[in-house]
Structure 1
Amino acid sequence: MTTHVTGGISSRVAATPWAEVIDELNEYGSALTGPLLTAGECRAITALYDEPERFRTTVDMARHRFGRGQYRYFAYQLPDVVAQLREAFYPHLLSIARDWADKLGQPAPWPDALGEWLQMCRRAGQAKCAQILLRYGEGDWNALHRDVFGDMLFPLQVVIGLDTPGEDFTGGEFLMTEQRPRAQSRGSSTTLPQGHGLVFTTRDRPVISKRGWSVAPMRHGVSTVRSGRRHTLGLVFHEAA
């Protein structure tokens, strides 16, 4: 269940033990935050799913062979809490993104301000909102994938659990796989507590090897929901084409 949450959104995100998150991201490609939303805030976001005018499109995963279940992309203007969460996370994730780019010898095009970065995305032809509200029912699942919508890419994103595992639903663990060179892929699973976030890599992450830093391709998905209904909020830090 969601533990006690105080202060505004930015202070809650800032209260995340970022040193621990960075260590886990570097080791596994994902890391849980502390509580970000109250149970009431989670319910309010979940209720938005039944207000279709707030969304630009709805995706039926089975139709596209992405798995089974449904998700909706928000339209602009975002609900305040969603916009505040994305703004609050960006500076913390930016330092990690720049560190990873430096290790891999890759460009780091992301400016200090999220708004400036989103304008860069739009000028490059990626102008659609990529913030997602996902709904899974019994038997639903999400295939392993990457949320890459074009050349303008931010390497980290966040998913926030909106329901209570074990009470509102069972199953539905967040899955990640890491493709390793000349070896079998490594997998991990995480149960998302209500109101907590999971920071994870969008596409790949740096790993140390005998020859220095190299790229480890990553994919994420959701295991089969065995009972109940599971909702999550996805925060993506680049726009969609």
Structure 2
Amino acid sequence: MTTAVETPATFEDRVAATDWAAVKQETDAHGCAPTGPLLTPDECREITAMYEDDQRFRATVDMARHRFGSGEYRYFRYPFPEPLQWLREALYPRLLPIARDWAARLTRPAPWPDTLAEWLDQCHEAGQTRPTGILLRYREDDWNALHRDLYGDLVFPLQVVIGLDVPGADYEGGEFLLVEQRPRAQSRGTSRTLRQGHGLVFTTRDRPVRSARGWSAAPVRHGVSAVRSGLRHTLGLVFHDAA
């Protein structure tokens, strides 16, 4: 039986097993990149089942009501369930070099310290105290409008979404969408199908792209295409808290 001490190391090992050099290369080129498996099928089902437990969440958002699309999502409250907390802590230092490299290319400040705990302390000191872990649920014909998850002045430039259901079996459609507004050019779209238990790293706000004058920031928004049938759940890991 796995002990409480060994379990976090298991999540760290899963995160470490991803080819992070390849993630950096693909994120640099396209604004998003898949990871290896981060959750087992059983863990995916356990997290999905949390959706009905009101005590775990601080807020529920009806997307149609706010004209965000159609569907529903819920923000976890602190403390997070252990898999979410461990994954965020293990993913943050892997994403940090990409974040700092992008900031250097765009000649922006890079305020992110070496650990997630230190970064969240900075968020809280700035008044961003509300947790931003998200569990999303889409039924048939639901979709998510293109948007960016900023929440305040302090922003970590990358986030991760994890598929919790099996595409093609539990649901059809519902592709993850990324649309990039390129400098003095037409927008470019990317779509991804989320494998169960696998993550997708993607840019929160913008990313550096080469231009005639060096590097420019290309604004990026993300969303979800319409679910044609079935039920689709995803877990969103954002690395800054909300004001």
User: Smaller-chain TM-score range?
Assistant: over 0.9
In the alignment, which residue of structure 1 is the partner of 2:131?
129
Cα distance between partner residues in 2 of 1:113 and 1:18:
18
CA contact (8 A) 2:183 2:216 kept: no
Pick one of 66, 77, 92 that aligns with 2:94.
92
Q: CA deviation at 1:47?
A: 0.4
**Superposition pairs for residues 104-115 of structure 1, below 5 Å?**
104-115=106-117
Cα distance between partner residues in 2 of 1:42 and 1:71:
16
Cα distance between partner residues in 2 of 1:129 and 1:180:
31
**Superposition pairs for residues 193-212 of structure 1, below 5 Å?**
193-212=195-214
In the alignment, which residue of structure 1 is the partner of 2:181?
179
Pick one of 217, 232, 235 that aligns with 1:233.
235
Cα distance between partner residues in 2 of 1:128 and 1:35:
28
**Superposition pairs for residues 133-148 of structure 1, below 5 Å?**
133-148=135-150
Cα distance between partner residues in 2 of 1:114 and 1:203:
19
Cα distance between partner residues in 2 of 1:183 and 1:25:
20
The percent of aligned pairs where both chains have the same amino acid is 69
User: 1:107-137 deviations in whole A, cap 9, x for unaligned?
Assistant: 0000001101101001101000000000000
Q: Give the letter for the 2:125 counterpart.
A: R
Q: What is the TM-score with the length of structure 1 in the denominator?
A: 0.97
Pick one of 29, 33, 38 that aligns with 2:31.
29
In the alignment, which residue of structure 1 is the partner of 2:165?
163
Q: Give the letter for the 2:74 counterpart.
A: R
Q: CA deviation at 1:182?
A: 2.1
Q: CA deviation at 1:36?
A: 1.0
The secondary structure found in structure 2 opposite 1:58 is strand
Q: Give the letter for the 2:161 counterpart.
A: V
Q: CA deviation at 1:68?
A: 0.2
Cα distance between partner residues in 1 of 2:156 and 2:100:
10
Which structure 1 residue ranges, 4+ long, deviate > 3 Å from structure 2?
A: none
Q: Give the letter for the 2:138 counterpart.
A: Y
Q: CA deviation at 1:183?
A: 1.9
In the alignment, which residue of structure 2 is the partner of 1:4?
none
Q: CA deviation at 1:211?
A: 1.0
Q: Give the letter for the 2:90 counterpart.
A: A
Q: CA deviation at 1:90?
A: 0.3
For the pair 1:150 / 2:149, whether they are aligned, the reply is no
Which runs of no fewer than 5 residues in structure 1 stay unpaired? Answer: 1-6
Q: Give the letter for the 1:215 counterpart.
A: A
Pick one of 45, 48, 51 that aligns with 2:50.
48
Q: CA deviation at 1:158?
A: 0.1
Pick one of 71, 74, 97 that aligns with 2:73.
71
The secondary structure found in structure 2 opposite 1:8 is helix
User: 1:195-218 deviations in whole A, cap 9, x for unaligned?
Assistant: 000000000000111211110100
CA contact (8 A) 2:183 2:211 kept: no
Q: CA RMSD in A?
A: 0.7
